[in-house]
């Protein structure tokens, strides 16, 4: 089996995502770049049909032309969105697309998520992209354009919300990308409460840009 260890790790991560409400039965998919030739990726319907309970052989090996090399299952139509990220940036090594419970509040109403917690400061802004239908080439091009427009020397991780749809996390490894997904979910919960406090005049929401956060942890 090609990339056995990496496929086993991906199985563990997607199950954790589902168990912790970081994606749902409406979908989600994760890919990891192995080298210049291959990525590994979760199959279509991993959430709807399998509730993210996968076997390593169900993790697909796909070449950069989007052809199935190895694995049991079919390639998700959202591979175009993943490939848009990999083709634009060679330093992107993992793409997580998920439907996390708290972050979906901001994605669904189409509002940029305030970045408030110390653990999420390294991602910078958390923007919501213009709406495009799920799995469409339009959505893939919207993602591609956003990644292309990031500053040339931007550092990973990066996070973007997909309007009415979910979230994308880009990072250097699967473990780092999942770590940031979890952090963003906590930030989304905090941001909702902070905005409520602001609306009720309990405590006005301010972004304290002058604080010297630890960005290396």
What's the pTM value of the predicted model, to 2 decimals?
0.94
The total number of structural domains that make up the chain: 1
Q: Is 145 inside any structural domain?
A: yes
Q: Is 131 inside any structural domain?
A: yes
Q: Is 206 inside any structural domain?
A: no
CB contact at 8 A, 168 and 7: no
**SS percent in the chain: helix, strand, coil, step 5:** 35, 20, 45
Domain harbouring 103, CATH code = 3.40.225.10
* Residues forming a β-bridge with 124: none
Q: Is 119 inside any structural domain?
A: yes
Give me the domain span that covers residue 18. Answer: 4-199
Q: Is 215 inside any structural domain?
A: no
Q: Is 214 inside any structural domain?
A: no
Report which DSSP code applies to 207: -
The reply to whether omega before 75 is within 30° of 0 (cis) is no
Q: Is 212 inside any structural domain?
A: no
Q: Is 182 inside any structural domain?
A: yes
Q: What is the pLDDT along the chain (217 residues), one digit of tens a residue?
A: 999 999 999 999 999 999 999 999 999 999 999 999 999 999 999 999 999 999 999 999 999 999 999 999 999 999 999 999 999 999 999 999 999 999 999 999 999 999 999 999 999 999 999 999 999 999 999 999 999 998 776 789 999 999 999 999 999 999 999 999 999 999 999 999 999 999 999 988 887 776 677 777 6
- Cβ-Cβ contacts under 8 Å for 132 (sequence gap 6 or more): 138, 139, 141, 142, 163
């Amino acid at each position: 089996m090609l990339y056995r260890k990496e496929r086993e790790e991906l199985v563990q991560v997607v199950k954790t995502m589902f168990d912790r409400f970081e994606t749902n039965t409406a979908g989600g998919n994760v890919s990891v770049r192995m080298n210049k030739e291959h990525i590994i990726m979760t199959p279509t319907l991993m959430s709807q049909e399998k509730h993210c309970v996968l076997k390593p052989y169900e993790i697909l090996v796909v070449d950069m032309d989007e052809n199935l090399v190895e694995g049991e299952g079919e390639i998700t139509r959202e591979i175009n969105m993943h490939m848009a990220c990999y083709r634009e940036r060679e330093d992107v090594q993992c793409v997580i697309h998920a439907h996390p419970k708290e972050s979906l509040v901001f994605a669904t109403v189409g509002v940029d998520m305030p970045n408030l917690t110390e653990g999420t400061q390294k991602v910078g802004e958390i923007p919501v992209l213009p709406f495009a239908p799920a799995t469409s080439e339009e959505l893939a091009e919207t993602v591609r354009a956003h990644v292309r427009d990031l500053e040339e020397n931007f550092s990973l991780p990066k996070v973007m919300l997909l309007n009415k749809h979910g979230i994308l996390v880009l990072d250097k490894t699967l473990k780092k990308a999942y770590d940031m997904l979890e952090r963003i979910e906590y930030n989304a919960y905090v941001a909702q409460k902070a905005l409520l406090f602001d609306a009720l005049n309990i405590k006005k929401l301010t972004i304290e840009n002058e604080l010297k956060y630890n960005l290396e942890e």
